[in-house]
Protein backbone atom coordinates (compact mmCIF):
# COMPACT_ATOMS: atom_id res chain seq x y z
CA UNK A 1 0.00 0.00 0.00
CA UNK A 2 1.24 3.45 -0.98
CA UNK A 3 -0.01 6.80 0.38
CA UNK A 4 -2.52 8.11 -2.18
CA UNK A 5 -0.57 11.38 -2.31
CA UNK A 6 2.34 9.43 -3.86
CA UNK A 7 0.29 7.47 -6.41
CA UNK A 8 1.13 8.32 -10.02
CA UNK A 9 -1.53 6.34 -11.90
CA UNK A 10 -5.18 6.26 -10.86
CA UNK A 11 -7.05 3.38 -12.47
CA UNK A 12 -10.82 3.57 -12.34
CA UNK A 13 -13.62 1.09 -12.63
CA UNK A 14 -16.62 2.73 -14.28
CA UNK A 15 -20.15 1.47 -13.46
CA UNK A 16 -20.87 2.13 -9.80
CA UNK A 17 -17.61 4.07 -9.38
CA UNK A 18 -17.81 7.01 -11.79
CA UNK A 19 -21.29 6.56 -13.22
CA UNK A 20 -24.45 4.48 -13.33
CA UNK A 21 -25.52 3.74 -16.88
CA UNK A 22 -24.95 6.88 -18.91
CA UNK A 23 -25.17 9.25 -15.94
CA UNK A 24 -21.95 10.33 -14.17
CA UNK A 25 -22.03 10.69 -10.39
CA UNK A 26 -22.07 14.29 -9.19
CA UNK A 27 -18.58 15.80 -9.31
CA UNK A 28 -16.92 12.63 -10.64
CA UNK A 29 -15.82 14.08 -13.98
CA UNK A 30 -14.52 17.22 -12.26
CA UNK A 31 -12.52 14.98 -9.90
CA UNK A 32 -10.92 13.26 -12.89
CA UNK A 33 -9.90 16.67 -14.25
CA UNK A 34 -8.42 17.68 -10.88
CA UNK A 35 -6.38 14.45 -10.76
CA UNK A 36 -5.17 14.96 -14.33
CA UNK A 37 -4.25 18.59 -13.59
CA UNK A 38 -2.24 17.43 -10.56
CA UNK A 39 -0.03 15.46 -12.98
CA UNK A 40 -1.53 12.05 -12.36
CA UNK A 41 -2.21 9.56 -15.12
CA UNK A 42 -5.90 8.54 -15.21
CA UNK A 43 -7.06 5.34 -16.88
CA UNK A 44 -10.44 3.61 -17.17
CA UNK A 45 -10.38 -0.15 -16.63
CA UNK A 46 -13.60 -2.01 -17.29
CA UNK A 47 -14.46 -5.68 -17.27
CA UNK A 48 -17.44 -5.01 -19.54
CA UNK A 49 -16.54 -6.79 -22.77
CA UNK A 50 -19.86 -6.12 -24.50
CA UNK A 51 -18.60 -2.80 -25.84
CA UNK A 52 -15.45 -1.68 -27.63
CA UNK A 53 -12.90 0.92 -26.56
CA UNK A 54 -14.45 3.26 -29.17
CA UNK A 55 -17.85 2.95 -27.43
CA UNK A 56 -16.23 3.73 -24.09
CA UNK A 57 -14.36 6.72 -25.45
CA UNK A 58 -17.65 8.17 -26.76
CA UNK A 59 -19.39 7.42 -23.48
CA UNK A 60 -16.71 9.13 -21.38
CA UNK A 61 -16.78 12.16 -23.68
CA UNK A 62 -20.60 12.31 -23.36
CA UNK A 63 -20.22 12.24 -19.58
CA UNK A 64 -17.99 15.31 -19.78
CA UNK A 65 -14.37 14.15 -19.50
CA UNK A 66 -12.03 14.70 -22.42
CA UNK A 67 -10.38 11.26 -22.41
CA UNK A 68 -7.86 10.01 -24.98
CA UNK A 69 -8.11 6.52 -26.46
CA UNK A 70 -4.95 5.43 -24.59
CA UNK A 71 -6.78 5.97 -21.29
CA UNK A 72 -9.24 3.15 -21.92
CA UNK A 73 -8.67 -0.52 -21.13
CA UNK A 74 -11.35 -3.20 -21.51
CA UNK A 75 -11.20 -6.90 -20.68
CA UNK A 76 -11.84 -7.48 -24.39
CA UNK A 77 -8.58 -5.69 -25.31
CA UNK A 78 -6.64 -7.61 -22.64
CA UNK A 79 -8.13 -10.90 -23.88
CA UNK A 80 -7.19 -10.19 -27.50
CA UNK A 81 -3.61 -9.42 -26.50
CA UNK A 82 -3.46 -12.52 -24.29
CA UNK A 83 -4.53 -14.70 -27.22
CA UNK A 84 -1.95 -13.14 -29.52
CA UNK A 85 0.79 -13.76 -26.94
CA UNK A 86 -0.16 -17.23 -25.73
CA UNK A 87 -2.12 -18.70 -28.65
CA UNK A 88 -0.76 -16.99 -31.77
CA UNK A 89 -2.46 -17.90 -35.07
CA UNK A 90 -5.26 -19.79 -33.28
CA UNK A 91 -8.88 -19.28 -34.27
CA UNK A 92 -11.57 -18.21 -31.83
CA UNK A 93 -15.31 -18.58 -31.47
CA UNK A 94 -16.54 -15.54 -29.56
CA UNK A 95 -19.60 -15.79 -27.35
CA UNK A 96 -19.83 -12.04 -27.44
CA UNK A 97 -21.25 -9.02 -29.21
CA UNK A 98 -20.55 -8.13 -32.85
CA UNK A 99 -18.42 -5.18 -31.75
CA UNK A 100 -16.23 -7.46 -29.60
CA UNK A 101 -15.84 -9.84 -32.55
CA UNK A 102 -14.74 -6.87 -34.66
CA UNK A 103 -12.25 -5.83 -31.99
CA UNK A 104 -10.75 -9.35 -32.00
CA UNK A 105 -10.56 -9.27 -35.81
CA UNK A 106 -8.75 -5.90 -35.53
CA UNK A 107 -6.11 -7.66 -33.38
CA UNK A 108 -5.63 -10.15 -36.24
CA UNK A 109 -7.50 -13.05 -34.58
CA UNK A 110 -9.42 -15.35 -36.92
CA UNK A 111 -13.00 -15.22 -35.65
CA UNK A 112 -15.18 -18.26 -36.42
CA UNK A 113 -18.93 -18.40 -36.87
CA UNK A 114 -21.68 -20.72 -35.55
CA UNK A 115 -21.18 -24.27 -36.83
CA UNK A 116 -17.43 -23.85 -37.46
CA UNK A 117 -14.69 -25.48 -35.37
CA UNK A 118 -12.42 -23.16 -33.36
CA UNK A 119 -9.23 -23.58 -31.30
CA UNK A 120 -10.46 -21.25 -28.57
CA UNK A 121 -13.84 -20.30 -27.15
CA UNK A 122 -14.10 -16.82 -25.68
CA UNK A 123 -16.84 -16.27 -23.13
CA UNK A 124 -17.63 -12.55 -22.93
CA UNK A 125 -20.54 -10.40 -21.77
CA UNK A 126 -22.83 -11.25 -24.67
CA UNK A 127 -25.82 -8.91 -24.70
CA UNK A 128 -26.68 -10.34 -28.14
CA UNK A 129 -26.79 -13.94 -26.90
CA UNK A 130 -28.91 -16.55 -28.68
CA UNK A 131 -29.47 -20.18 -27.75
CA UNK A 132 -27.71 -21.23 -30.95
CA UNK A 133 -24.56 -19.27 -30.00
CA UNK A 134 -24.57 -20.70 -26.47
CA UNK A 135 -25.06 -24.27 -27.70
CA UNK A 136 -22.20 -23.98 -30.20
CA UNK A 137 -19.90 -22.64 -27.47
CA UNK A 138 -20.72 -25.42 -25.00
CA UNK A 139 -20.22 -28.03 -27.74
CA UNK A 140 -16.78 -26.64 -28.65
CA UNK A 141 -15.72 -26.54 -25.00
CA UNK A 142 -16.91 -30.15 -24.51
CA UNK A 143 -14.84 -31.19 -27.54
CA UNK A 144 -11.62 -29.71 -26.14
CA UNK A 145 -11.34 -26.11 -27.37
CA UNK A 146 -9.37 -23.86 -25.01
CA UNK A 147 -11.91 -21.95 -22.90
CA UNK A 148 -11.13 -18.34 -21.98
CA UNK A 149 -13.44 -15.96 -20.13
CA UNK A 150 -12.98 -12.21 -20.52
CA UNK A 151 -14.00 -11.56 -16.90
CA UNK A 152 -15.71 -13.22 -13.90
CA UNK A 153 -18.45 -10.72 -12.93
CA UNK A 154 -21.74 -12.40 -12.08
CA UNK A 155 -23.87 -9.37 -12.87
CA UNK A 156 -23.50 -6.05 -14.63
CA UNK A 157 -25.31 -3.23 -12.82
CA UNK A 158 -27.63 -1.11 -14.93
CA UNK A 159 -30.30 1.50 -14.30
CA UNK A 160 -32.87 -1.20 -15.16
CA UNK A 161 -31.46 -3.76 -12.70
CA UNK A 162 -28.63 -6.32 -12.54
CA UNK A 163 -27.92 -8.00 -15.88
CA UNK A 164 -26.63 -11.62 -16.01
CA UNK A 165 -22.92 -11.29 -16.88
CA UNK A 166 -20.08 -13.60 -17.95
CA UNK A 167 -19.62 -15.12 -14.47
CA UNK A 168 -23.24 -16.24 -14.43
CA UNK A 169 -22.75 -17.85 -17.85
CA UNK A 170 -19.67 -19.66 -16.54
CA UNK A 171 -21.98 -21.35 -14.03
CA UNK A 172 -24.43 -22.26 -16.79
CA UNK A 173 -21.60 -23.78 -18.88
CA UNK A 174 -20.28 -25.65 -15.83
CA UNK A 175 -23.74 -27.07 -15.18
CA UNK A 176 -23.96 -28.11 -18.84
CA UNK A 177 -20.60 -29.84 -19.36
CA UNK A 178 -18.54 -29.64 -16.15
CA UNK A 179 -15.94 -27.26 -17.62
CA UNK A 180 -14.48 -24.16 -15.98
CA UNK A 181 -12.44 -21.61 -17.97
CA UNK A 182 -8.78 -22.45 -18.57
CA UNK A 183 -8.03 -18.76 -18.07
CA UNK A 184 -10.01 -15.75 -16.82
CA UNK A 185 -8.55 -12.45 -18.03
CA UNK A 186 -10.37 -9.49 -16.40
CA UNK A 187 -10.26 -8.03 -12.90
CA UNK A 188 -9.21 -9.45 -10.39
CA UNK A 189 -6.98 -11.73 -12.47
CA UNK A 190 -3.29 -11.30 -13.28
CA UNK A 191 -3.57 -11.16 -17.13
CA UNK A 192 -5.60 -7.94 -16.90
CA UNK A 193 -3.08 -6.46 -14.43
CA UNK A 194 -0.15 -7.31 -16.71
CA UNK A 195 -1.98 -5.69 -19.62
CA UNK A 196 -2.72 -2.53 -17.60
CA UNK A 197 0.86 -2.12 -16.28
CA UNK A 198 2.18 -2.54 -19.82
CA UNK A 199 -0.41 -0.19 -21.27
CA UNK A 200 0.28 2.54 -18.69
CA UNK A 201 4.06 1.90 -18.55
CA UNK A 202 3.73 1.78 -14.76
CA UNK A 203 4.81 -0.51 -11.94
CA UNK A 204 2.18 -1.92 -9.55
CA UNK A 205 3.41 0.33 -6.71
CA UNK A 206 2.80 3.44 -8.81
CA UNK A 207 -0.87 2.50 -9.33
CA UNK A 208 -4.05 2.75 -7.26
CA UNK A 209 -7.17 0.92 -8.30
CA UNK A 210 -10.46 2.65 -7.48
CA UNK A 211 -13.67 0.63 -7.68
CA UNK A 212 -16.99 -0.33 -6.07
CA UNK A 213 -16.89 -4.14 -6.16
CA UNK A 214 -14.94 -6.19 -3.61
CA UNK A 215 -14.49 -9.47 -5.52
CA UNK A 216 -13.23 -7.84 -8.71
CA UNK A 217 -11.95 -4.27 -8.17
CA UNK A 218 -10.53 -4.49 -4.67
CA UNK A 219 -9.09 -7.99 -5.14
CA UNK A 220 -7.55 -6.74 -8.38
CA UNK A 221 -5.64 -4.09 -6.45
CA UNK A 222 -4.72 -6.34 -3.52
CA UNK A 223 -3.72 -9.41 -5.59
CA UNK A 224 -1.58 -7.47 -8.06
CA UNK A 225 0.45 -5.15 -5.83
CA UNK A 226 -1.55 -1.93 -6.28
CA UNK A 227 -3.09 0.32 -3.64
CA UNK A 228 -6.80 -0.49 -3.47
CA UNK A 229 -9.53 2.11 -2.97
CA UNK A 230 -13.16 1.17 -2.37
CA UNK A 231 -15.88 3.73 -3.09
CA UNK A 232 -19.32 3.29 -1.55
CA UNK A 233 -21.28 4.66 -4.53
CA UNK A 234 -21.96 1.25 -6.09
CA UNK A 235 -22.39 -2.36 -5.11
CA UNK A 236 -20.67 -2.52 -1.71
CA UNK A 237 -22.48 -1.40 1.42
CA UNK A 238 -20.66 -0.76 4.73
CA UNK A 239 -22.27 -3.98 6.04
CA UNK A 240 -20.93 -6.04 3.11
CA UNK A 241 -17.48 -4.57 3.71
CA UNK A 242 -17.64 -5.41 7.41
CA UNK A 243 -18.54 -9.05 6.67
CA UNK A 244 -15.98 -9.51 3.87
CA UNK A 245 -12.42 -10.85 4.21
CA UNK A 246 -11.39 -8.55 1.37
CA UNK A 247 -10.22 -5.35 3.04
CA UNK A 248 -9.32 -2.37 0.83
CA UNK A 249 -6.43 -0.04 1.71
CA UNK A 250 -8.75 2.99 1.54
CA UNK A 251 -12.54 3.32 1.85
CA UNK A 252 -14.06 6.53 0.45
CA UNK A 253 -17.66 7.70 0.24
CA UNK A 254 -17.13 8.61 -3.42
CA UNK A 255 -14.35 9.33 -5.92
CA UNK A 256 -14.67 13.00 -5.00
CA UNK A 257 -12.82 12.25 -1.74
CA UNK A 258 -9.69 11.68 -3.87
CA UNK A 259 -9.45 15.47 -4.21
CA UNK A 260 -7.98 15.53 -0.68
CA UNK A 261 -4.91 13.68 -1.98
CA UNK A 262 -4.11 16.07 -4.85
The 208-247 site mask, x for binding Mg ion (CB under 5 A), equals: ----xx----------------------------------
Least separation in angstroms between residue 202's CB and Mg ion is 21
Other beta carbons within 10 Å of 143 = 10
Please identify the residue of the shown chain whose CB is closest to the bound Mg ion.
16
Judged on CB neighbours under 10 Å (0-12, 13-18, 19+), 67 is buried
Q: Which is nearer to Mg ion, 20 or 99 (CB)?
A: 20
Q: Which is nearer to Mg ion, 213 or 219 (CB)?
A: 213
Task: Give CA–CA dist 248/214, Å, rounded.
Answer: 8
**Residues 193-212 contacting Mg ion, CB under 5 A:** 212
Least separation in angstroms between residue 153's CB and Mg ion is 8
Cα(first)–Cα(last) distance of the chain, in Å?
Answer: 17
Q: Which is nearer to Mg ion, 13 or 103 (CB)?
A: 13
Least separation in angstroms between residue 108's CB and Mg ion is 30
Per rule CB under 5 A, count of chain residues that contact Mg ion: 5
| Contact by Cβ (8 Å): 143, 161 | no
| Contact by Cβ (8 Å): 73, 195 | yes
Q: Which is nearer to Mg ion, 137 or 212 (CB)?
A: 212
The 3-22 site mask, x for binding Mg ion (CB under 5 A), equals: ----------x-xx------
Q: Is the peptide bond before 10 cis (omega within 30 degrees of 0)?
A: no
Least separation in angstroms between residue 215's CB and Mg ion is 11
Residues that bind Mg ion (CB under 5 A): 13, 15-16, 212-213
Amino acid sequence: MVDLRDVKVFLFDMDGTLNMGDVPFEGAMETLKILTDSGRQVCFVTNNSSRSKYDYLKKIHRMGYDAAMEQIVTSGMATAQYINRHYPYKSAYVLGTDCLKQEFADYGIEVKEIGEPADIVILAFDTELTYEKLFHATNLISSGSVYIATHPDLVCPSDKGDMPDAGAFMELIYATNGHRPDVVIGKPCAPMAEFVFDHCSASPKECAFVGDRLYTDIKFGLNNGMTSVLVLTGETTPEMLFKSDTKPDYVLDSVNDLRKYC
